[in-house]
Amino acid sequence: MLILEIDVERQRVSKVELDASGPIEAALALHKRRETWRLDPLSPEVPFVFGFGPFVGGRLFGVHRLVFVFKSPQTRMLHVSTMGGAAYKAMGMGAQAVSIVGRASRRTALLIASGEVQFVEFQPGGDVYETARRLYELHRDFFARNDARALVVGPAAFTTYNGAVVSVDVDVRDGRLRPGAEDFAGRGGPGTALAQGHNVVAVVAGGPKRPLHDRVADAKALDEIFKARFGKPYRDALNEKTVKYRYDSKVGAGGTFGVNYPHYRDLLPLFGYKSIYMPREERRRHAELVLELFWKPFKAEQDKSREWYNCGEPCPVLCKKAWRGKKVDYEPFHAMGPFIGNYVFEEAVPLVDRVDRLGLDAIEMGHVIAWLFDAVHVGLLRPEEVGIGDVPAFDPAKFEPLGDSRRNAKLASELVDGFVSGATEALSLVARRGIRAAARELERRFSDRVRATGCRFRDLAVYAALGSEGYMTPSFYWAPGLVAPMYMLGRYWSNYTPTFMPPEDFAESAYRRAIAEMFIDNAGVCRFHRGWAEEVLEDLYRLAGLKPPSPALYRELAYYAKLSGAEPLPWEGRRTRDLISTLASELGAREWRFAEYEDYYEWWMRFKSRLDQLVFSE
């Protein structure tokens, strides 16, 4: 596997060959070589790595995700984040992966094609879309000559731990942004690592499109693999396994947003997970409100307009569903919608757009808003201390859907802007250090309010603790596996279904899922294609003449976490623990009552012990 190593401080480029099955395995080797577990995540000596899997450029769809591996300022360990479609154009950059080290003396854009790198001083625009347009205007010839795609950071990357890398696809014929073909590598703060660690604000990558391995362009050979596994040719298997993301006739919608709401209903997490305390009938009442006010307006528009797109590679699934030009997915819209007490879809659209433009990870931002809203609601903070003009409506029992949704959406917009600009001392603290460290500091500063309310700041947030400083918030499912003691959180590398079981059994199911998801990410395959890809991945590696990855890759990531001092720790806050116990109760797990802290600790320790047996005995 060929790696371009770019030192942006010295403006030097070298090429390195590694024996690696994909970008995750390659990045881990680079980090081990530099012993980066010893370093701060934002040290210039910590490589920022991105690359693609071995199946690009052939006959397979959904294999052109760009994979980012970096030491996260949030988790304090190696983290993986991926972005749809970007590798379709980046495959011509002249290497399978890029490793960036050093810190540029000035804000810099890298133009990469056919193994050559240009270092360009570049000042980003006020938002990610403006930055992409400015890049195109200044380097129109490079875009057109190489059919290139831009990866940029937003203002949030320079002032917060939560900056994303944003991929914006420009039509090289006229410079217009392609609708639907923007995507975000956000979890864990890759934009922050790139901007603050290396002073790189943009990468433009392109070049000749050709398969890395010719056999993946052999349609007959691919069909033989799929017929052996599924009893049908590739296209038929793909169509069958991607129904949810294209169009599910059973629910009359498609995509994650279109399917998740009618599927999960009363299991949807609302109001920063406060819905886990509601009786089932009350949750069902709220779910019906969400379907009526949040889901149906989107579905009605989709029924008329059919604004369906792919992520930038020529994939027939068309999973990107847009609403009047704005791409709509479950996670970012739930983050700026029901999770923060906003049930009105039209109010969420400008909020998601604002978060996107600033270059923030929407999932994490949803947790930040809900946590601070709740802190104001219970009296731990005053509105002006988090830069908002009123107390949020954050009691589900008293919630007035229309008026309170508009109120919360307005306050959320104020909070987002204040978070990025550091408008108040409290917001600046959270933006610099994240929820976990900020919660501890706020408890110290406002110990009188903690005593008066009987509530700690950490008790209002849901996160998994990693070492002394790191943490990760879960995706928006009522699922113990998303805060379980796993070695890679914030992705779906776990059992993320709303289920409960004895800790040893849960650990085994989570580990199996983690390995499968890791292999998919390492291969640069889209999760929406995992239904067929997981079954044939080893066959595809062999077809390409490559050695498939080993589960030992997860063990290496776990070792790195231990060396970094970012190993999972028991749950610190009440609501995180309650996410576990309320679902156990909901599902009738009578053998686990969780009456005392020791019960949670026992479940956590037994899970962790069994996981470690699996990880370190492979």
Distance CA(373)–CA(392), nearest Å, equals 6
pLDDT for residue 191: 98
How far out from the chain centre does Cα 392 lie? 27
The Cβ-side half-sphere exposure at 145, using a 13 Å CA radius, reads 10
Prediction pTM value:
0.97
Q: What is the mean pLDDT of each run of 10 residues along the chain (618 residues)?
A: 98 97 98 98 98 97 98 98 95 98 98 98 95 94 95 98 93 76 93 98 96 94 97 96 90 92 96 97 98 96 87 91 92 98 98 98 98 98 98 98 98 98 98 98 98 98 98 98 98 96 98 98 97 97 96 98 98 98 94 94 98 92
Q: What digits encode the pLDDT tens for the residues 177-231?
A: 776 678 999 999 999 999 999 999 999 999 999 999 999 999 999 999 999 999 9
Phi, psi (degrees; rounded to nearest 5) at 349 = -60, -55
Give me the residue spans of the domains in the chain: 2-210, 245-463, 481-617
Q: Residue with structure tokens 């659209």?
A: 349
Q: What digits encode the pLDDT tens for the residues 17-50?
A: 999 999 999 999 999 999 999 999 999 999 999 9
pLDDT for residue 285: 98
- H helices of 362-424, in order, are 362-378, 401-421
Distance CA(64)–CA(50), nearest Å, equals 13
Distance CA(600)–CA(594), nearest Å, equals 6
Distance CA(358)–CA(377), nearest Å, equals 26
**What CATH topology corresponds to 245-463?**
1.10.569
Distance CA(561)–CA(421), nearest Å, equals 32
pLDDT for residue 618: 62
pLDDT for residue 459: 98
Class of domain 2-210: alpha beta
pLDDT for residue 379: 98
